[in-house]
């Protein structure tokens, strides 16, 4: 049973303590989308969106047991960093100096290391205007954190608009050159959390190239055209049909190469649509890449908020990002932030319905 949405009056965000320490903030406007963010991991824990009949449902996956956000559900909805995605063997060189990062079981650095930003409790404050409401989150990552150089000060604003747009805006500054790549790792199911899998959803990805990877999901070194491959999603395609194509066995966990506008404004990256409910989510971003992960490795270990086990394909993650392992790949857009510069990244999720 999908949890009922919080009752909001259109006032400022509501703050409450979390069972796993930290705080949860709930915000939105009556009749539109409503979001819940937890300060542990700057985590999108819930998002209620109306269907074609105006009935809201929570469309974000999260575990029933908060303790699982430290283990099997670690990245669900979290802000990941200092570097989202993988850095091969946890090693890179910057300005001629080698660095070694903390690594996970496969020997690579994933989503910032063994104690990345998803494990921290962020400071938070309310943001509220007549048209936007939400929370501003802050974190300091000290020099040497997980092996990364420089003190890094990060902010993430998560705001809901009256136009049913959820925005993530990231900024960061540093006192030493360091790679930075931040994203949100929410899993979506537009039929509702716990309603089954996303194989009946339709997906569009506005990318003409993708990044092939090896068995460890490390890029092979080039960007290949999607034309004639399982990765051609330039027109709406049912996810089950996309995954039935040769080359898509096991599902997607791949970076798609976007073409930013060049003026710093977000461009459309993807559209997700659930025909059964009419819910539609458009993803726009200033980032050069989009990691599409169809959760093919989910095995029912995690029980969702509604008590339903999350099996393979229970949700889909659409992670706006710089490319995986780009600190080691000079031909990719540079993720390096230097003193005196400001990292800026914006991702917009626009919700609506279709008949």
For residue 108, indicate whether it is catalytic.
no
Identify the segments of the chain with pLDDT beneath 70. Answer: 1-4, 9
Separation of alpha carbons 36 and 45, rounded Å = 5
Asked if 62 and 304 touch (Cβ cutoff 8 Å), the reply is yes
pTM here is: 0.96
- Residue 206 pLDDT: 97
Asked if 219 and 329 touch (Cβ cutoff 8 Å), the reply is yes
Q: What is the pLDDT of residues 33-71, one digit of tens each?
A: 999 999 999 999 999 999 999 999 999 999 999 889 989
3-state secondary structure of 83: strand
Asked if 56 and 13 touch (Cβ cutoff 8 Å), the reply is no
- Residue 246 pLDDT: 93
Q: What is the pLDDT of residues 300-309, one digit of tens each?
A: 999 999 999 9
- Residue 3 pLDDT: 64
Separation of alpha carbons 342 and 345, rounded Å = 10
Q: What is the pLDDT of residues 77-95, one digit of tens each?
A: 999 999 999 999 999 999 9
For residue 105, indicate whether it is catalytic.
no
- Residue 130 pLDDT: 93
Annotated catalytic residue within 165, 191, 193, 319: 319
Residues 6+ apart with CB under 8 A from 190: 49, 59, 198, 201, 272, 273, 274, 277, 279, 280, 281
Annotated catalytic residue within 45, 108, 185, 322: 185
What is the topology classification, in CATH, of domain 14-353?
Answer: Beta-galactosidase; Chain A, domain 5 (2.70.98)
For the chain, which residues make up each domain, given as ranges? 14-353
- Nearest-CA neighbor of 81 among 157, 153, 135? 153
Separation of alpha carbons 4 and 126, rounded Å = 23
Cα Rg of the chain, angstroms: 19
350, two tokens? 């626009």
């Amino acid at each position: 049973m999908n949890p009922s949405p919080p009752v909001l009056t259109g006032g400022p965000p509501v703050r409450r303590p979390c069972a796993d320490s930290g705080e949860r903030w709930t915000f939105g406007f009556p009749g539109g989308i409503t979001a819940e963010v937890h300060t542990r991991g700057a985590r999108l824990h819930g998002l209620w969106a109306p269907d074609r009949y105006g009935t809201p449902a929570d469309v974000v996956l999260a575990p029933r047991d908060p303790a699982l956000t430290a283990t099997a559900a670690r990245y669900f909805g979290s802000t990941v960093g200092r570097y989202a995605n993988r850095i091969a063997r946890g090693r890179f060189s910057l300005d001629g100096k080698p660095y070694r990062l903390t690594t996970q079981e496969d020997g690579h650095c994933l989503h910032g290391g063994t104690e990345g930003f998803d494990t921290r409790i962020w400071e938070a404050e309310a943001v509220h205007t007549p048209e936007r409401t939400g929370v501003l989150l802050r974190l300091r990552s000290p020099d040497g954190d997980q092996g990364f150089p420089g003190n890094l000060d990060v902010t993430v604003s998560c705001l809901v608009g009256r136009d049913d747009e959820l925005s993530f805006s990231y900024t960061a500054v540093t006192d030493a050159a360091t790679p930075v790549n931040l994203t949100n790792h929410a899993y979506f199911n537009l039929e509702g959390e716990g309603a089954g899998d996303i194989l009946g959803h339709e997906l569009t990805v506005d990318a003409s190239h993708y990044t092939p990877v090896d068995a460890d999901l490390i890029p092979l070194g080039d960007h290949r055209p999607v034309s004639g491959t399982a990765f051609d999603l330039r027109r709406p395609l049912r996810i089950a049909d996309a995954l039935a194509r040769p080359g898509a066995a096991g599902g997607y966990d791949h970076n798609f190469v976007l073409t930013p506008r060049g003026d710093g404004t977000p461009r459309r990256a993807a559209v997700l649509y659930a025909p059964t409910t009419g819910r539609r989510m458009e993803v726009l971003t200033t980032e050069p890449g989009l990691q599409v992960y169809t959760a093919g490795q989910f095995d029912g270990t995690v029980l969702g908020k509604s008590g339903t086990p999350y099996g393979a394909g229970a949700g889909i993650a659409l992670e706006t990002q710089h490319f995986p392992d780009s600190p080691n790949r000079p031909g990719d857009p540079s993720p390096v932030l230097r003193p005196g510069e400001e990292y800026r990244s914006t991702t917009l999720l626009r919700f609506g319905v279709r008949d």
